[in-house]
Amino acid sequence: MREKIHTILMFLLLSPALCHATNIAFYTDGVIQEGDEYVSVGVYNNARVDMTGGIVTNQLTTYDYSTLNALGGLLEAIVSVEFSTVNLSGVVRIGGMTVEESSAVNMFGGEVDSLKILKIGSSNPVNLYGGIISDYLLATSTVNIYGYDFQYNPLAGDYGGGQLTGFWLDDMPFSIDLYAVYNPPYGATIDTWSHVVLREIPEPCTLALLAFGAIIRLRRR
């Protein structure tokens, strides 16, 4: 999948439409929409940027207390730092995403190749509710995964950390390869599974039965 995204970005970068692509910095609220093309994007202060389309061929970075709502478009990379928040939904496609410092992420949809959560000692959450992680998930701090019918196979996957499968809250099935390196050259061991918190929600039919039972009990009273 990463090679596919890179191929698309390279084709777009060489096309005449992107000859004038440039960098942009948002210090106040703004929009990235269909037809917009940027090499690099920075979002600062308390700015909120809604991305509904367009292309970022290098990197979009969120700083300070800013917010990115990414619903569509194509990005090579997103990096969130400081106390910023990134919300992913819709049909946005991202080559790779890195979450650092005290930033928060809520993923409801979209497609990310690799998701790296490299925060240390931060209380701000990384929450996964839906979408596709097509390559791997790497985490050195807590990541909450919401869904049901979770199954973890420590021997599956391509990155040494096993594979997690299940269903998102919208009933879509998912499969995520977890990253693990036990003797990395730079020191500390990375074991993503030890940082995963499964937030299991009863599947819809179970919720319906529970609700029906509650109604019956109320009527009997």
What pLDDT is attached to residue 129? Answer: 98
192/176 Cα distance (integer angstroms) = 11
Helix H or strand E segment including 190: strand 190-191
Task: Report how many domains make up the chain.
Answer: 1
pLDDT exceeds 90 at position 3: no
What pLDDT is attached to residue 212? Answer: 42
Supply the mean pLDDT for the chain.
87
pLDDT exceeds 80 at position 108: yes
**Tell me, what amino acid is at 142?**
T
Over residues 109-133, the pLDDT tens digits come to: 999 999 999 987 667 889 999 999 9
Task: Provide the domain limits for residue 115.
Answer: 2-220
113/78 Cα distance (integer angstroms) = 11
